[in-house]
Amino acid sequence: MSKRMNELALRQLDKKLAEIKFDTDPPDKRWLRSIRNTLGMTSRQLGKRIGVSQPTVLEYEQREQKGTITLNSLKKAAEGLGCKLRYALVPKESSLKELREKTARKTATIMVEKTSRSMVLEDQEVSESEKEKQVEELTRELLEEWDNSIWDVEAE
């Protein structure tokens, strides 16, 4: 993808993600059981609605709580509960753009520090303000070039 298209895609996806409000965690990691109980529906009744046995419904609920349920099973159960399954990958930062910027800065800082260490050994140390200026310039360059090497840094 071209740099321009990358920037456009990033802005569009950030806008879409900003509209999603996922600030609520499932109660005890159990949407299925919580909704089923709130509706007053038994596991046998849900099983009948989705064409599985009562023990399978309980298995779905256990797998949801463990985080091992498949999206297909979760979707099937949601439909039986009169719900829709929606899922999203929501950035921990405020946006994907901010995530890229933070990661590019971290990469730039690591690169400048490596260079700085070798310069100290050669008795050519640069000031902290000069290092900060180099980090800023390198960060800007990494972002402008859509350099994917920024993702080679260790995740926090």
Cα-trace Rg, the chain: 24
Distance CA 11, CA 18 (A): 10
Distance CA 54, CA 58 (A): 7
Structure tokens at 57: 């419904």
Q: What sign has the CA pseudo-torsion 115, 117, 121, 123?
A: positive
CATH number at 23-87: 1.10.260.40
Which parts of 2-156 fold into alpha helices (H)? 3-19, 31-39, 43-50, 54-66, 71-80, 96-121, 128-144
3-state secondary structure of 37: helix
Amino acid at 12: Q
Highest-pLDDT range among 7-11, 28-32, 53-57: 53-57
Report pTM. Answer: 0.70
User: Residue ranges per domain, the chain?
Assistant: 1-19+91-156, 23-87
C-beta of residue 74 within 8 angstroms of C-beta of residue 67: no
User: 138: phi > 0 → left, psi -120 to 50 → alpha, else beta; which?
Assistant: alpha
Pairwise pLDDT comparison (61 vs 15), residue with the higher score: 61
49 pLDDT more than 80? yes
Cβ neighbour number for residue 143 with a 10 Å cutoff: 19
Question: Residue 16 gets which letter from DSSP?
Answer: H
- Give me the pLDDT at residue 104, please: 95
Q: Using alpha carbons, select from 71, 105, 107, 68 the residue that is nearest to residue 89.
A: 71
- Give me the pLDDT at residue 21, please: 67
26 pLDDT more than 80? no
3-state secondary structure of 40: coil
